[in-house]
Structures are given as structure tokens and as C-alpha cells.
Structure 1
């Protein structure tokens, strides 16, 4: 499990967190006359080497690094990603070309500094990034009238058609594509090389017809895949935390971060907050945060605001599923449609994050110092800083927010993620309905069952039955018929997404991430599941660390067509042969911070009965089973 205390803000943590979806390529150099050499021009562990992964996982894609004139490279698949690397600050020239022909598909030159001017983990490279390099202009709107979007859609169409021809995917499904040397050598069949103008005017279809049959994929299908990839790149976990790691020497981009706090415009009251958000594969963002509002102790210390935690009980801020978080095209929040956290039934008192832009693909910052560090510049652009506002009665609070995006997600391997859309015939198992049983480390709290479904997109919603109780919210395999209302008349909730599908001889599983933010979940309100990180709720990190470890649903028995008994199980990421515990767990920072408040001697106001019960629900373990209503389907 990747360890993280509070914010994933250390370089070492960010590198591991952001590289978690795939492996790295090798580092081999051969005579350039022999053609391609490897997937990297440098050791990706070096400070001056920038690794990248392709959002559309195309292995065998040719690229040259501007600092390495003597070698040529191709992207390589490892784990759940396709990667490459060049020196930090290089310009990468992409193409598709064989070794025995001079015909090629030119895909432009991309300045790595436009993706990130500093090294922060493996950077995602999308076909929109490549199309932007080809056209020389960033897209301004997500439609096919925009030249860059048109080029990116054409590239998707080419790779989709190659995948169909090589039996890697069906039209509309995002799966890895392999461009092997023999196939690229067949570019000798086309009459000429291709440039960006061919993708803009549409002539690429005719020129490439001897090499690939593009009639198998329509422009509309390709455009849908492009939008899917944009959501995929945008997805992840967004953290804004209170405490910084004790080893400040490791903190780079977010060293001395302001966190998530603000000040009243009329009084000395302040707000201190944190948050955990999750963006899914369809572009919905959900989660929750906590806030402490009041006057901190008088102190000359810059950390006086931390005394709010010792004076006030946490108030939960619920971020219902919404599409007003970071726009996948601009990478920014909108002041016209801010992301809202609700604290009560009065929407006028919502906390609204209305400004901020994702820098380096991984951080939003709020100060000049952090901006200069993130962008490696001496000038600043305050219009992209993280800002929020909240109206409480007649009092207005304005504040700043620094946050990190961690744990990107990947495509879902069709050998495990089988749906009616991506199998031509035979059995498929998604949508997958499951009953999760939450057990509490405080055994005075009863077990709670929760029905969920992993849908055809790989996102997770609840499947709560019509006769749910406090401890039994298991489902009946309901289907949505009106928004989030199912055929039983029950309102369901978006609660998470999948990270990746593992498909090896010893591991057929799918990883899950969930945040149970709504009060509807009762004893489970505030539970964090599968975030794959350690969470600290105190400056004494060694004694106040919670684990929301990695969680995967094991599907080997369900996928085995010869099995007499179909079943699933749930576990963490530990290898069963390691001797370490494989039990899946969950954590609840809402309960943990309430427990801190309750433990303060003579605190006023004294904890209520509900707050005392909440503090018992800090952590626990998890099991999973198939509901009786579920069955494997056939096509």
C-alpha cells in the first residue's frame, strides 16, 4: 500500500501515488540504424528524467527525445499503463513508422514543459495533448468544429480501428493497442506519409485505407471515446488536508501550503477545513470535508488556527455528486458553476470553491510561492489560485485552498471487466452487484450491510433495497429508470469508481474506491474505502494514523466458467503469499476528529449522545458477497 500522511504532498509520495497505475519501461540503447531502442531515454528515477503514460494505451508508438539525437524510442506496456520517458524539458516528436519503409504518420512535436515544467510523478499524455502539438493551438471547445478536437478524434478513430483489426477491442471500448514492427512496416502500402492537414480535412481516411479499415469506427464513436478518455484523465482522488508531514525536507511543490482555511470579512472568526473528493469515470465528483469555525486562541504563532480543532467539534460538509469540479478541457474550476459543499438544508450557506486550476496535472495552489515552485517561474498568475467563499448567516468567509490530486485510474482490462458492450459473445459479469458488510473495530457497533453495483462504465453506485434498515441496506439488483431512482422507487447514490482491472494468472480483480458522504448511510456516514493511503488526524502522526488501504474485489471464481460455485471476495493489495494480512479495511476521518473532540478534558459544549456514538465508528474491516438476485449473463 502507498503510504501517505495527510496530504500526498511529498515528492516521494506523489511519485509513487501518481505512478501507481502502471510500470516503467527499460533503459536500453542500440544503434539508431537498427530502429527503435527502448521506451525511455533516461532513468526514470533520475531528477532530470520525466516519465509519461499514454491515456490511450498505445504501445509501439514511436517517439524521439530532443536531447537524444542518436536513439529512437517506442512506448511500452507495463502493468496497467503504457509508458515512456525523456529528459525533463525535452521536446518529444511522435510518429507511427516502421523500420523498412519511409512512409509514416507524423504526430507532431510536444514540448514537455507545456505538460509540466517540473518533475512530479509520471505525467499523463492524452491524444488531445498530441493533437494540440500537431495543430499548434489548444482546443477552446469540446466539439468537432474545433480543429484540435477534430484531430484528436481522428487519432482515436485510427487507434480504435487498429485495435479492432488486431482483435484488441470492439468499437467504442478503450483497451490497449499494440503497434508491432511488422504492422508498422505495412505502412509501405500507403501512397504517402500523413501530416496534420490530413487529419483536419479528413483525407487521412482514404490515405490510410490500405493499412487500416476505418469504416469499422464512426466519427461519433471515436468522439465518445475521446470524451471517455478526458474523464479518465481527470479522475482521481483530491485531498486538501490540515497537517503537513513531519519530514518537511521531503515536501516540494506544496511545502508551506496554506491548506484549506479562511477568515471572516467582519470578525476574527476563522474556518479551518479538510476534504476528500473522488472523481469518477463519468465525470462526477463527490466526497466530503470537515470544517471548524470560530475564533482561534490568541497567539503569535502562524499555526494558531490549529487550535480550532481543540475548541470546536467538526462539522461535516457534504459534496453531493456534481459535474462542477475541474473541467477536463480547461483543467480549471468555474466561478459561474462552483463546486458546492452543503452543511445544512440552507443552500445559501454552502461552501463554494469557485476558482483554481490544476497545475502539473496534480496540484492546485493558492500562493505566489507555491505557484512559482509548481510552474518553475518567477512570475505568477493569481487567476488560477484556489479560492472559496461561504456565507454563514450575515457573516462572509473567504479563503484559499491548496490540494493534491493522487492515484489516477486506468482503462479496465476486458479480460476481467466484461460487459455486454465489449464481449462479442459469451458470458459477461458487469454490472456487478455485491453486498458489502462493514465491521467496526469497536465491537459495540453492529455490522452494517450495504448493497452496491459496479456499472457498465466502471463507476459505483448504491443498490439499497426498498425495505432498508439501519444495519441492512442490501439490495435487490435494482436498475435505474429515472435519474438516480431505481425500479423499486428507491433513490440511489453515486459513491465511487474503479481504479484498474488486474488480469494475471494469479490475480483477476478490480480495485474500488468509495466515499460514503451522505447522511443516508447512517452508521457508515463518512466512511472512506479503497483510497490506498494512510490518513493522519493529529500533529502526532505516529499515534493518530488511520488506514484507508487499497481494496480490490477478487473475481477469479466468478470468471471461471468451470466453477461449480460462483462467488467473490474482497481483500487489500497484499500478496497472499507474503504472510501479511489481506483483510480489506476502511476508515472514517469524520468519526476520528469527533473522537479527538470528545477526548478533550472539560470540553464545552460537552459531546452529545450522537457525537459519542459517532466517535465509535472510526475504522473497521470489510467483506463482500454476491446477492441472491445476481447472476452471470450470456450474450
Structure 2
């Protein structure tokens, strides 16, 4: 048997592919205290060195590490990862400020690295250190809501307003938009012009604006613009791909991740005849507006006993003998709370039309901006804690008839989105008056099928919108093979959209980052709704691989980018879709790939419909602008 499982590609491959995705290392003079690593106290590859990335991309922000406060470091934007990074030793407290050879300074708070990341996770993206973390360091309180009445939100808004004012002053940035900021040594030396330092009380009272006026005029950024920019950062920090797998490496009572596993009894090791096991996996996308959607599958049933490694016995036997059941997560906001990183729950996957049968994720907390642990051993490994805390574990439940299934899961957060550089991502909100902009881009995806499974290509209308999200644009009277759009505007927005034609549209993806060298935007999509007909279950750009454990080549779902250089330069309306190597993008249907194992193992039980589905596991996909798209929009 070839048991398939899904693993994310190494992020280093993505970083290499996006070697020109915006941002340049600033020309900053070293601080007076000469240090070996200008953006931190340790080498990235050293044991116990934690490298973090700021959510607001600031090059030149001062910080110290508590393990050696005699040395001052500065954050630096790396041209390859497009991240403003710093490094301190595990467990350090990081103090942020702005200062250069002056008595006056701007205090930006102290953040405990243990609250951000216990280990370096550069292989999955650096743990994010946010403006909200800095504000919490100043107020001593975690924000409890995104309300402007929350004290920590107020301080965070003031910090963003300050950074926005510096960015607008430097040119090329519109208030409310997040773009890279370089604070030069010369600019920091000019803090000598202010009468006193800025500390937490000044943010609370609003006095920071008048204190800083000789240095930067924060009034050029309104309170509303700063608050909107903070919201953009908060949701950007949460926006990523999330994935859980069924047990692959699991071993009883070990520190290895166990995967998504449970049963219908209190003791999953019971030998009673009524015992039924459940395993599953899913892939989700959280977009830049805070909505999470996707799909997965589950296998459940009784298995034979095995005392050597019962969890893996369950996986192998269920995947061979049981038809996988799809579970679909419509867009919802009950996934990870962006303020406390806990699953708000219940996050629901539907398995049929009866909501009582929903698979529900009830709890879990993201650690290191990377992982949710479902079991005690993996939790202690992840947090480096000797104390268990079951309230943080990933847990789920599902009731089917009289069976009440419960269990745990481990989930991975990977490929977090980044800010979108306005040299490529041009919208009405981030270009000057009288300037041309190109987003939202109305386009058509054309799906082809490998293996001669169908002679029909299928068209789907999509919108790469002005918020960095992707939604459908399906015209009225669409057919199963032609779901192209009419460039309709949105009349009603929320978890799902209704356009001006009265047609319901769907959230299907997100833009990940901008690629300056190629004038492109990276993207990822999940189509999970029966409304998509033969495309239901298709994924694009997730950068995952369906492995065939016992040999075989597996199935690759690579990265994807929309090459929009012609639109940016106003040369033509021709755009293309390619992977990070410039080759044709392939779409894949992960459910069909998993169903293939069941069909191969049970040819007499598999239906004709099942056999037809497994022949449609993927193919090539292309992207063209819609005929109704206007490439010459101007901000007025």
C-alpha cells in the first residue's frame, strides 16, 4: 500500500524562489558598540538563537537583548525574505526604542521572547513580533479586543501612527498603507531636537504628537488611518496556510506529533467491540480579512488490534479499508484569535447537510507562530515546559448518531503572508491622486485535466482584490464548464459575498507577497464547495506534496505567482501564471488523490463515481485578465 500524506515544502525553497520580493537592505552605519551580528546578539544558526521578524517592516529600529544589555542592535530588512529581522537568545527580553547618540529616545516597549517563540522556526517562517507585542510591553496588558477603546490598542495605534508619519515623510507611502520603512542614523540623531523622551504615558495621553513635532509631524497621519493600518497588521499576522495531518510518525506516549486522531470512547486503547477510531487531515487558508476556509477528509471505523504501535496501525488500516469522507470549512471567523493566538471555536467542518454531524475544532493555541500541539509530549517539546497545560492542546469533537467522537490534533501554520509592496500592488488606497492603479484585477482561471480524463477545460472567474484576498467572480447563468465572470462589484460582503448581479461569490484565496523583480504577486487558493462542480476540491499554490510513503513519486502542489508586469507598466493586459521557477502551474485535488488509495485497495467496493473522481487529480491551470477588466483606472 502507498499511504499518502501531505507535507509543506521547506520554506527555504520559497525564499530562494522569491529572491526579489521587495525591500532592500538599508545603508545603516553600525552602532558605537561594535558587535559580531548587527541585527542581533547571536548567529541565526546557533543553538538557542531565536530570529524574529517585525510585522511592520522597519529597517533601523534599535533593540537590546536582556542577556547583554551593553550592546545595541538594529533590525534589518533582508532582501530575500522581505522581512525586518532581529535576533536574541532564547528566553531574552527584547527592548525596542529609537535613539542615536542622544539623551532623548522613543520607548517602544519590552517584549519577552518566550511569548513569541521558544525556538527558531526559520524553516517555516520567522516568528512574528508585532506592534501589539510592543504595546503590550508598554502597558503590561494584552489587548482583549480590536476596539479603539482598549488601552493596548490605543498605544499600538500611536506607535503605528508614528511609524506611518516617518514613512509618509520619506515619500512613496500613502497614510494607512503598510510599506517598508528605513530609519537612518541621521534621522535618529535628529532626536536631539526634541525636548524630552517619549514614554508610555505620552502615548496614553497623546502628548507624544507634540513632543515629536520638531522631529516628525504625526498629524499628517490621521488617527483613523493609523487605526486602519494597525488592523491591517493584526489580520496580516494571522493570515497563512494551516494544515493538520493524520498520524504519520506517531508513537504512543512520545514527543512526536500524533496528528489528528481520536475515537468514540473515553479510552482509545479499549478492546471492546464498540470502539471506533477516527483519523483526519485538513488544509485551511486564513485571508487578510480574518476569514478562514478550506477542506479536509476523515476516515473512521473499527480496526484490528496491534500492540506495537496502535496509532499507526489505525492509520494504515483505515486508509486501506475505509472510503475517506470529505469535510468542508466554509469561510468563518472562529479560527485563531489574532490577539491571543487561541482557537476561538467551535470551528466547523460540515460533512453533510446536517449541522449536528459537523466536525468541530474546539480549542488549541499557536506557539512559536508555527504550531498547535495536541498532546502532552509534543506540547512540552514545543514550549520547553515541564508542566502540561491541557487548555492549550488542539482538540476536536464530532457526534454521529449515538457515537460521540473526541480527540486531539497537531496543526502547522506556514507561509504567513507579508505586506504587499506598492510598486506592484497598486490600489486606489495606496497611490497618489491622479495616479493609475490596477487592483482589483478581474481575471479568468482556465483549468485543464491531466490524463485525458475530460476533453473539457473549465473556466472560473476570479478577483485579486484590493485587500489582497481572492474571491470568485461567477456570472449569472454559469455552466459547469464556464463559470467566468462579468467584473461585478460587491454589494454585500462578509463570510461570503453577493455581487451587484445578485450572485453569491466565495472567498477562495489570498495573495502572499509581492515579487519586485518579476513584477508578480504570489497566491494560494482552495476551492471547496459543490458549486464548483468538477473543480470542487482543487488547490493552487499551497506548496505542498502528497507523499507516497512506500515508494512512488507522490503528487506535488507547487507554488504559484501571477506575473502582472504588463499591467504594472501599462504595456498590455497580458498576464500569466507560473510557479516560482517560471514553469506552468499545476492544480491538484487532494481529496481525489487520497480517494485513489481506497479505490486501488478496494476495486470491488469502489463505485464508478469514485473511479471517475480519482482520474481527475489535477492538471495545468492558466490565468488571463477578464475581457471586462479596465486596466486604466485612475484615483480621483
- TM-superposed CA distance for 1:495, in Å, is 0.2
Q: After superposition, where does 1:432-471 map in structure 2 within 5 Å?
A: 432-445=441-454, 446-471=456-481
Determine whether 1:242 maps to 2:253.
no
Rounded Cα–Cα distance in structure 1 between residues aligned with 2:187 and 2:30: 21
- TM-superposed CA distance for 1:602, in Å, is 4.6
Provide the residue aligned with 1:345 in structure 2. Answer: 353
Determine whether 1:503 maps to 2:516.
yes
Distance 1:398 1:19, change over 3 A: farther
Provide the residue aligned with 2:156 in structure 1. Answer: 152
Provide the residue aligned with 1:179 in structure 2. Answer: 183
**Is contact 1:237-1:407 (8 Å) kept?**
yes
- TM-superposed CA distance for 1:147, in Å, is 2.4
Output one character per residue of 1:550-580: Cα deviation in whole Å (capped at 9) or x when no partner. Answer: 100001111113x2x3210010001x5xxxx
Provide the residue aligned with 2:617 in structure 1. Answer: 618
Provide the residue aligned with 2:592 in structure 1. Answer: 591
- TM-superposed CA distance for 1:25, in Å, is 7.9
Distance 1:328 1:16, change over 3 A: farther
Output one character per residue of 1:461-507: Cα deviation in whole Å (capped at 9) or x when no partner. Answer: 00111121111111111111133111122111100000001113xx1
- TM-superposed CA distance for 1:17, in Å, is 7.3
Provide the residue aligned with 1:529 in structure 2. Answer: 540
**SS of equivalent to 1:71:** strand
Determine whether 1:519 maps to 2:523.
no
TM-score (ref. length: structure 1): 0.90
**Is contact 1:547-1:586 (8 Å) kept?**
no
**Is contact 1:7-1:244 (8 Å) kept?**
no
**Is contact 1:259-1:400 (8 Å) kept?**
yes
**Is contact 2:49-2:119 (8 Å) kept?**
no
Q: After superposition, where does 1:309-348 map in structure 2 within 5 Å?
A: 309-334=319-344, 337-348=345-356
Q: Which moved more, 1:314-323 or 1:140-149?
A: 140-149
Rounded Cα–Cα distance in structure 1 between residues aligned with 2:137 and 2:127: 16
**Is contact 1:465-1:490 (8 Å) kept?**
yes
Provide the residue aligned with 1:579 in structure 2. Answer: none
1:492 to 482, 505, 508: 505
Q: After superposition, where does 1:104-253 map in structure 2 within 5 Å?
A: 104-121=105-122, 122-242=126-246, 244=248
Structure 2 portions without partners, runs of 5+: 267-273
**SS of equivalent to 2:448:** strand
Rounded Cα–Cα distance in structure 2 between residues aligned with 1:65 and 1:601: 59
Output one character per residue of 1:72-102: Cα deviation in whole Å (capped at 9) or x when no partner. Answer: 2211112322112122222222111123x32
Rounded Cα–Cα distance in structure 1 between residues aligned with 2:136 and 2:69: 24
**SS of equivalent to 2:6:** coil
Provide the residue aligned with 2:39 in structure 1. Answer: 39
Distance 1:620 1:310, change over 3 A: same
- TM-superposed CA distance for 1:532, in Å, is 1.5
**SS of equivalent to 1:500:** strand
Rounded Cα–Cα distance in structure 2 between residues aligned with 1:411 and 1:25: 16
TM-score (ref. length: structure 2): 0.90
Distance 1:16 1:361, change over 3 A: farther
Rounded Cα–Cα distance in structure 2 between residues aligned with 1:51 and 1:188: 31
Distance 1:285 1:343, change over 3 A: same
Rounded Cα–Cα distance in structure 1 between residues aligned with 2:30 and 2:372: 41
**Is contact 1:29-1:38 (8 Å) kept?**
no
Rounded Cα–Cα distance in structure 2 between residues aligned with 1:137 and 1:196: 12
1:295 to 299, 302, 311: 302
Output one character per residue of 1:112-158: Cα deviation in whole Å (capped at 9) or x when no partner. Answer: 12212223232211001111112223223332333222111110111
RMSD: 2.6
**Is contact 2:257-2:410 (8 Å) kept?**
yes
**SS of equivalent to 2:504:** coil
Rounded Cα–Cα distance in structure 1 between residues aligned with 2:17 and 2:383: 23
Distance 1:314 1:601, change over 3 A: closer
- In the alignment of these two chains, the number of paired residues is 606
Q: Which moved more, 1:616-625 or 1:139-148?
A: 139-148
- TM-superposed CA distance for 1:533, in Å, is 2.4
Rounded Cα–Cα distance in structure 1 between residues aligned with 2:603 and 2:228: 59
**SS of equivalent to 1:390:** strand
**SS of equivalent to 1:411:** coil
Provide the residue aligned with 2:270 in structure 1. Answer: none
